[in-house]
A and B are shown apart, each in its own frame.
Chain A
Amino acid sequence: MTPATNGSATAAAPEEGDIEARARAAVRADDSAHEVSAEDETPPTYAADLREAATELWRFREMLYQLTLRDVRIRYKQAVIGFGWALLMPALVVLSGCLVRYAMSRKSGVPLDLAGIASISVKALPWSFFVGTISFATQSLTGNLQLVSKVYFPRAVLPLAATLGQAFDALIGACVLVLVLPFLDVHLSMALLWVPLLVLLLFLLTVAASLFLSCANLFFRDVKYMVQVMLMFGIFFTPVFFDPAMMGRRLAGLIMLNPLSPLLEGLRLAVVQQHDLLVPIVASDGIVVWSPLYLAYAALWAVLGLAASAMIFHRSEFVFAEYI
């Protein structure tokens, strides 16, 4: 905004209260002139595009907050079990995981110990966050047709609000997990310092997938069916109930290609095994259980995936209203 316009806007309402005027000035400071032209021939660079997307998102941070609040409120308002919702899904994942592992232990003779249950618990929470977010976010654009076709705002706030709403649930789950883990023989260690990084990478990866899938579902309505199927069977291709090492050498490598796998395995090793993730683990039979490269691989997915999907999303968001 030019200083001239700002000045005239303030001068137009001199009788306004001081605080209010200041609040307005603060809000307007980050408002800019909108210049849209089809004529400039030089295509914007990727960096400029991402910066533009980020600036717009920052301007609408209040909307993001309010939409997240809306999703959380709706979920807990008229629900019978209230905050239990946040625990139901991860608890069920843990329960089924224990069931599967118990069956396996009967066959193999290796008993399901407390560490096994702790492993499943630690991995079930991020998994249910991922699944919950993806299934909500995929339909976040098409589910808000009125908003998308009638009102301007950076469209990314819709999938992001879905992600943050689920993150709130995951936070409740995490609090409960922190209370439960000591009973599963998990102790504090320096390795826990890896957890924030792993959680951040998981969050970025989830946001990347949310942006991409919500956008894809807007253009191709059958994406949501495919996502449902993938989420249903994804648990067999992601080490939640099992550790990749149980699969043998070749299959373990394949499972670790899933960008979620290194993150979940990293969480298990850091929390349950108190293992420093910079140190590789190679089992006696030659299976690479852990390598710092796994972490680098997942980080690459998270960062590049987010950049790419934010890019695709931003470049196509201006035709959302035409295609929805």
Chain B
Amino acid sequence: MSDASVSFRHVWKKFRYGEVHNSLRDLIPALGRRLIRGRSPNARDLQSGDFWAVRDVSFEVRPGEAIGIIGPNGAGKSTVLKLLTRIVRPTRGGCSVHGRIGALIELSAGFHPDLTGRENVFLQGSIMGMHRREIAAKFDEIVEFAGIPDFIDTPVKRYSSGMHARLGFAIAAHLDPDVLIIDEVLAVGDAAFQQKAFARIAEMREQQVPLVVVSHQLDRIAQLCTKAILLNRGRVVHSGTPGETIAFYVKTTTSTADAIAGDSATRIESMIVDAPGEVPSGGTITVTITGSVRPHWTGTRESVVLRVASVETGTMVFSTDTALNGIALPYAGPFTLRVDLQLNVPANVYTIESLVLDTLTSREVFPGPSAQVNVGRGIAFTGSVQMNPRLRLEEGDGASTERTNASPVV
């Protein structure tokens, strides 16, 4: 047996589309079949109505390692976590986890609204596999971490949703697991609490606790993980260092638009972002959009829009369009639009989205392709806008030495 804490060996998992038989009417035939045939011989193959949620996924995590699992919605990330935590069992292949699993997944699933915070800490702790003595020993720490000492004897139904989530996280964070599994819970509570929660997880990683992290916050994956895999439609599409995998993910999500028959005159056919892996903050990328215009009466008032939004928060940070810049699209025929963007934004992952806007009605009449770009650390700064600072420090009378920071990337 390998010394890996978590190992996933060629795991396949199938699920059914639609509803499964759900009433007693179906019981007799189903039971009859099961009794006669036992487990049906081809139970491990796909039958009609089945689909593979996870196909042939293998990975290992050793103590001190942290693996990030990324991918679009429906890629199978959550199913992988359910297989790890033994909520569901693999159809084929095998997976093993050594030691106690701490799952930061459904943090307050066991909370009962009528019980007090104190009672719920013991209840939820026991659901996570802790003993009364162990919970009692950590009780003060948990309450302190959640920051709700005044409300601990109040029924949780009177808690704000933030307090609810914080208490759930605090219990899970004090579990002392041998393996930690995290599913999208890094966004719990306010900014200060998120910071604290992230620090706590990073601390567990320092203590050699192996981590499995699923998140759409790609920058968190990059910070926390030692390796990453990209899932798409149940398959491992890419695996490697977090940086590589994220870059691959960002690159491959650049897609051409589905040919949706809209009533717009302008169509965007493709969008290419010239971003080699990671762009340093302050760096420039070129977005090339190709499309065509057909003769149509709305043609003259349509505009091609480019929007940049943060993947983490979903907020738009920048938008520009042809009409705004006084650029007229052709009356008919193909066009190529090149946009140079200077990414004066903090390190993070951003979506670049193209679309056609009817400037008269402000309606989006054609959804174009979108892409993700991974902005890395160029020069160190805090805040929300990168201003390409140039710092000059003169010592003494200013004549002898002058120190400057490295010239920002332009």
Interface residues of A (CB under 8 A from B): 1-2, 4-5, 8-9, 12-13, 19-20, 23-24, 26-28, 31, 33-39, 43, 59-60, 62-63, 65-67, 69-70, 73-74, 77-78, 146-147, 149-153, 216, 219-223, 226, 318-319, 321-323
Instruction: Show 12 residue pairs from A and B whose CB-CB distance is below 8 angstroms, ordered by the A residue.
Output: A12-B207, A27-B130, A28-B99, A33-B96, A35-B96, A38-B94, A63-B129, A67-B126, A146-B109, A151-B110, A152-B85, A222-B23
Q: Given the interface contacts A34-B86, A36-B89, A70-B112, does A222 sit within 8 Å of B96 by beta carbon?
A: no
Q: Contact at B129–A150, with CB atoms within 8 Å?
A: no
Any chain A CB within 8 A of the CB of B144? Answer: no
A-facing residues in B79-106 (Cβ within 8 Å)? 82-83, 85-101, 103, 105-106
Contacts of B91 in A (CB 8 A): 38
CB distance from A162 to the nearest CB of B (A): 14
Any chain A CB within 8 A of the CB of B137? Answer: yes
Closest-by-CB residue of A relative to B124 is A66
Any chain A CB within 8 A of the CB of B291? Answer: no
Q: Contact at B88–A222, with CB atoms within 8 Å?
A: no
Q: A73-B114, A146-B109, A151-B103 are in contact. List 9 more A-B contacts (CB 8 A).
A: A12-B208, A36-B90, A37-B90, A38-B44, A62-B131, A70-B112, A74-B115, A153-B129, A321-B87
Q: Contact at A27–B134, with CB atoms within 8 Å?
A: yes
Q: State the CA gap A229–B42 with chains docked (Å).
A: 39
Any chain A CB within 8 A of the CB of B392? Answer: no
Contacts of B112 in A (CB 8 A): 70, 74
Contacts of B97 in A (CB 8 A): 33-34
Contacts of A34 in B (CB 8 A): 86, 96-98, 101
Any chain A CB within 8 A of the CB of B60? Answer: no
Any chain A CB within 8 A of the CB of B20? Answer: yes
Contacts of A151 in B (CB 8 A): 85, 87, 103, 105-106, 109-110, 127-128
A-facing residues in B113-127 (Cβ within 8 Å)? 114-115, 119, 122-123, 126-127
Contacts of B137 in A (CB 8 A): 19-20, 23
Q: Which of A9, A65, A220, A323 makes the CB contact (< 8 A) with B178?
A: A9
Q: Contact at B22–A63, with CB atoms within 8 Å?
A: no
Contacts of A37 in B (CB 8 A): 90, 93-96
Contacts of B86 in A (CB 8 A): 34, 36, 152, 318
Q: State the CA gap A153–B110 with chains docked (Å).
A: 12
Q: Given the interface contacts A36-B89, A70-B115, does A152 sit within 8 Å of B103 by beta carbon?
A: yes
Q: State the CA gap A212–B327 with chains docked (Å).
A: 72
Any chain A CB within 8 A of the CB of B26? Answer: yes
Any chain A CB within 8 A of the CB of B133? Answer: yes
Any chain A CB within 8 A of the CB of B410? Answer: no
Q: Given the interface contacts A38-B90, A77-B114, A151-B103, does A66 sit within 8 Å of B129 by beta carbon?
A: no
Closest-by-CB residue of B relative to A223 is B24
Any chain A CB within 8 A of the CB of B176? Answer: yes
Q: Contact at B22–A219, with CB atoms within 8 Å?
A: yes
Q: State the CA gap A1–B100 with chains docked (Å).
A: 9
Q: Contact at B100–A70, with CB atoms within 8 Å?
A: no
Closest-by-CB residue of B relative to A225 is B24
Contacts of B133 in A (CB 8 A): 23
CB distance from B175 to the nearest CB of A (A): 10
Q: Contact at B99–A226, with CB atoms within 8 Å?
A: no
CB distance from B312 to the nearest CB of A (A): 24
Q: State the CA gap A113–B170 with chains docked (Å).
A: 62
Closest-by-CB residue of A relative to B133 is A23
Q: Which of B20, B39, B87, B123 makes the CB contact (< 8 A) with A152?
A: B87
Q: Given the interface contacts A147-B109, A150-B106, does A220 sit within 8 Å of B94 by beta carbon?
A: no
Q: Contact at A226–B134, with CB atoms within 8 Å?
A: no
Q: Which 3 A-B pairs have the closest CB atoms?
A: A37-B94, A150-B106, A66-B126
Contacts of A12 in B (CB 8 A): 207-209
Q: Which of A36, A66, A73, A322 makes the CB contact (< 8 A) with B15?
A: A322
A-facing residues in B191-213 (Cβ within 8 Å)? 207-209
A-facing residues in B138-178 (Cβ within 8 Å)? 138, 176, 178
Q: Contact at B89–A38, with CB atoms within 8 Å?
A: yes
Contacts of B130 in A (CB 8 A): 27, 62
Q: Given the interface contacts A13-B207, A27-B130, A319-B88, does A73 sit within 8 Å of B115 by beta carbon?
A: yes
Any chain A CB within 8 A of the CB of B378? Answer: no
Q: State the CA gap A161–B92 with chains docked (Å).
A: 33
Q: State the CA gap A67–B120 with chains docked (Å).
A: 10
Contacts of A4 in B (CB 8 A): 3
Q: State the CA gap A5–B90 with chains docked (Å).
A: 25
Q: State the CA gap A220–B126 with chains docked (Å).
A: 29
Any chain A CB within 8 A of the CB of B132? Answer: yes
Q: Contact at B176–A24, with CB atoms within 8 Å?
A: yes
CB distance from A14 to the nearest CB of B (A): 11
